[in-house]
A = this chain, B = another copy of it.
Amino acid sequence: MTSSSKLVSQGTITTPRGFLAGVTYAGIKKPDVDALDLGILYSEVPCVAAGVFTTNRIKAAPVILCQRHLENNKAQAIVVNSGCANACTGEEGLADAEEVAAITAKKLGLPPREVLVASTGVIGTPLPMGLIRSSIEKIIVSRENGHDLAKAITTTDRFPKETAVQVVLGHREDEIAIGGIAKGSGMIHPDLATFLCFLTTDAAVEPGFLKGALRKAADISFNMITIDGDTSPNDSVIILANGLAGNEMIESGSPGAAEFEEALETACLSLAKSIARDGEGATKLIEVTVEGALTISDARQGARVVSGSSLVKAAVHGSDPNWGRIIAAMGRSGTEMVESKTDLYIDNLCVMKAGRPHPFDRAQAKSVLDKAEVPIRICLNLGDATATAWGCDLSEEYVTINSEYTT
């Protein structure tokens, strides 16, 4: 983050001007426990909107609906539930998603097309429409409920993920804010995984530029985190820009465009790292940087494969300096590399130099691996491209959580 953009302490999705949130307990997630599982994000004025969605061939009904509703790049609200993904539910699932949008639109006095829908949870079961119909009515939106909306979208997450960034655009003293919430945990993987992320900004932004900026920010953040290699039919990143900051329109090449992109990247990176840190059962954040690759796609691919390797993740979990697993994962990533040119570092500790074991103090390596954040650096010494990916360690608890999810 440069000096121009700054993280807002306790910031959330309702930090930018004009955004309200509301939540309720509908009983979708856990019938017998009071758990927030339904919420609405609402802007007081119409927004320019953009989204990035799952690359999975199986697309959940809400994703299909969002893609349709976003064709005109406009939206004013998002309604979201946890506990049921409304995926693999056929035409009925799509009709359910449409009805959820329609009920929410009626409540808010909007055209249904202005409402986006998101769902997360178990695949292959229909939305409990009775519960949803009666619960949407109860939701009251306000400036204070951003934190609760962050809670309502979680499933196996251990903590809600929220962020907000403020930035002064150029020399014009326009201050704008970007807020965001996300849910992640299992199934997190490049190419967008079961994860939802909603972003808001009070900046005025041209639709095409907003879409491009969102895709770029997602590419270096959400697409660079990995928990277990699985992706989901529901993955969605959506941004709403309501223009209430009164800034001059941000568009490609305009003053403030670079600052806006950077602030959006800062917000997305902050949320992405929170997600990686909260991988199911995770105890550590692993940060893998590949340097000196021939191409950026090579660097990205290598960093993602290493941060996603089960053997690397389990070794980090046990603070085991078994660096051969890192280099073996790199070797199978498809990234162009030459063994005899490759150096490997755990934090600042060199463990392999020019393809050969480099003497290191095992006690020191263990103490680095015992930390909450473990940086791994692979220097290919072939070119100038660099990329960073984030993952988490693999613990016994991951297995326990995922063996018992629906039962």
Contact = CB atoms under 8 A, between A and B. Distances in A.
B407 A320 contact: yes
Contact of A230 (B56, B310, B323): B310
Interface string A299-339: 00000000011110011011111111101111110010101
Nearest to A194: B328
A232 B328 contact: yes
A126 interface: yes
Contacts of A88: 324, 327, 339, 352, 355-357
B406 A321 contact: yes
A109 B185 CA distance: 60
A171 interface: no
Contacts of A335: 57
Interface in A379-407: 394-396, 398-400, 402-407
A402 B57 contact: no
Nearest to A318: B403
Given A230-B309, A314-B403, A315-B403, A90 B355 contact: yes
Contact of A124 (B55, B327, B406): B327
A119 B314 CA distance: 23
Nearest to A400: B396
A330 B315 CA distance: 28
Given A58-B331, A191-B332, A331-B58, A122 B322 contact: yes
A177 B189 CA distance: 46
B230 A229 contact: no
Given A89-B356, A327-B123, A395 B399 contact: yes
25 contacts: A55-B332, A56-B328, A57-B331, A57-B337, A58-B328, A58-B331, A85-B324, A87-B324, A87-B328, A88-B352, A90-B356, A92-B356, A124-B324, A187-B311, A189-B332, A230-B325, A230-B332, A232-B328, A310-B402, A314-B399, A317-B399, A319-B407, A321-B406, A322-B405, A398-B399
Q: Which 8 A-B pairs have the closest CB atoms?
A: A123-B324, A318-B403, A58-B331, A314-B402, A90-B356, A56-B331, A228-B310, A396-B396
